[in-house]
Amino acid sequence: MSISLVPQQNESGDPKLAAQGFGRLAANAPDAFTPTVSLAIAQEFFLKNGYLVLESTLNREELSTLNTFFDRTQSERPDLWGLGDKRKPHHRNQGLILSQPLLDYPELDTFLRHPAAFRYVAALLGGPSAVRWSEFNFRETPRHAGAGTMNFHHDAVVEDRFMRFPYGPPDYLCSIHYLTDVNPKTPSFCVVPGSHQFPSLRATFEAKGDDYLEQPIYGPAGTCIIYDTGLFHTRLDGDGIEGRRTWHQYYARGGHLRSSLPTTKRYVRAPSPNLTDWNLIPKRLALHPDPEMRLFFSHWNSAQCEWAAQNFDPEIRALMPRGDP
């Protein structure tokens, strides 16, 4: 996902507040669930708030594997991370991003449908056969990165989301796994609960009144946050000294659904549009021998179609945005 990170005055217009939102940070931690909580309880919380926090979704060995991957690839392929003098434009002010690790590192395939989080992703999108892969990347805010001032924003949305009935399943979900401990001193994910039901942060603030909150999410390594991409969120920077590592995976809803709009009694919701026009799926996954995995990776954008049409030629891939091997 590409987002705008241009610093601007906070929504309240009060120069004494941070450049993020209305400055009403929640004093208490959000509800968090173990990965064994019932789907019904998780769905009820998500429907109201637009996000879900799961504890201990990655074990010690998995965390070690992923953090070792960060260290190794930053050393071996710093260019892929945007390190060095020739930083790529989409890395500026966002820390380090490894945009398309699946292209060159098949050992990551084991994490694609990690059971601890995928169980809830599938339930929220309408079942395993409705889940489509959209993006998989790693991000790091290094130590001593300073303040970045990311503004509250939502990710990709579908415009009819406020008119259709029912609203759900959502069009897109994202899961963020903390790979290092996250606390008030480190960068942290922050959401506005329930804001996926409103077109702007100001509209959320005005509608919710005293119930409006900006909720930082802290937790040990292994914590997972699943959120509707229509939810307003940001990254709080912490003290600008401590760093943070995260794994981000985006999902789209596949298949056709019967729904309704105020102007018509009934219409059919098409699959969610492509999240990006540049994410590529390697041949081993796009043409996976398992039909279930092929379905999971069946949401192709135009770049993917062109690459497949030319037999996954590495020279074609190198010409595409963020495709350089």
CATH number at residue 214: 2.60.120.620
Which of 258, 274, 290 terminates a domain? The answer is 274
Does residue 21 carry a pLDDT above 50? yes
Q: Which band of pLDDT confidence, cut at 50, 70 and 90, is reported for residue 19? A: low
Looking at the domain assignment, is residue 19 inside a domain?
no
* Whether residue 286 sits in one domain with residue 237: no
Looking at the domain assignment, is residue 59 inside a domain?
yes
- Helical axes 115-125 vs 39-49, angle rounded to 10°: 60
Which of 242, 258, 274 terminates a domain? The answer is 274
* Whether residue 228 sits in one domain with residue 320: no
Q: Which band of pLDDT confidence, cut at 50, 70 and 90, is reported for residue 20? A: confident
Give the chain's mean pLDDT. Answer: 90
Nearest to 223 by CA among 264, 267, 189: 189
Looking at the domain assignment, is residue 13 inside a domain?
no
* Whether residue 313 sits in one domain with residue 264: no
Q: Which band of pLDDT confidence, cut at 50, 70 and 90, is reported for residue 86? A: low
CA–CA distance from 318 to each of 82, 269, 301, 321, 323 (Å)? 16, 35, 17, 8, 5
Looking at the domain assignment, is residue 122 inside a domain?
yes
- Enter the tokens of residue 77: 């392929």
* Chain-centre distance for alpha carbon 320: 22
Looking at the domain assignment, is residue 182 inside a domain?
yes
* Whether residue 153 sits in one domain with residue 211: yes
* Whether residue 170 sits in one domain with residue 215: yes
* Whether residue 107 sits in one domain with residue 200: yes
* Whether residue 325 sits in one domain with residue 247: no
Q: Which band of pLDDT confidence, cut at 50, 70 and 90, is reported for residue 227? A: very high
210-227 burial, b at 16+ Cβ within 10 Å, e below that, comes to eebbbbbbbbebbbbbbb
Q: Which domain holds residue 153?
A: 39-274
Looking at the domain assignment, is residue 16 inside a domain?
no
Does residue 217 carry a pLDDT above 60? yes
Contact 18/162 with Cβ under 8 angstroms?
A: no
* Whether residue 283 sits in one domain with residue 226: no
Whose tokens are 């599938």? That residue is: 122
- Enter the tokens of residue 52: 């879900």
* Whether residue 97 sits in one domain with residue 55: yes
Q: Write out pLDDT tens, residues 272-293.
A: 999 999 999 999 999 999 999 9
- For 96-115, what is the mean pLDDT? 96
Structurally, the chain folds into a number of domains equal to 2
- For 196-207, what is the mean pLDDT? 94
**DSSP secondary structure letters along 20-78:** STTS-B-SSPPP-B-TTS-HHHHHHHHHHHSEEEES--S-HHHHHHHHHHHHHHHHH-G
State residue 90's pLDDT score: 47
Looking at the domain assignment, is residue 14 inside a domain?
no
Q: Write out pLDDT tens, residues 131-146.
A: 999 999 999 999 888 8
Q: Which band of pLDDT confidence, cut at 50, 70 and 90, is reported for residue 127? A: very high
- Enter the tokens of residue 299: 């949401």
Percent of the chain surpassing pLDDT 90:
77
Does residue 299 carry a pLDDT above 70? yes
Looking at the domain assignment, is residue 8 inside a domain?
no
* Whether residue 82 sits in one domain with residue 230: yes
State residue 10's pLDDT score: 59
* Whether residue 248 sits in one domain with residue 139: yes
- Enter the tokens of residue 65: 């594997």
Q: Which band of pLDDT confidence, cut at 50, 70 and 90, is reported for residue 247? A: very high
* Whether residue 316 sits in one domain with residue 232: no
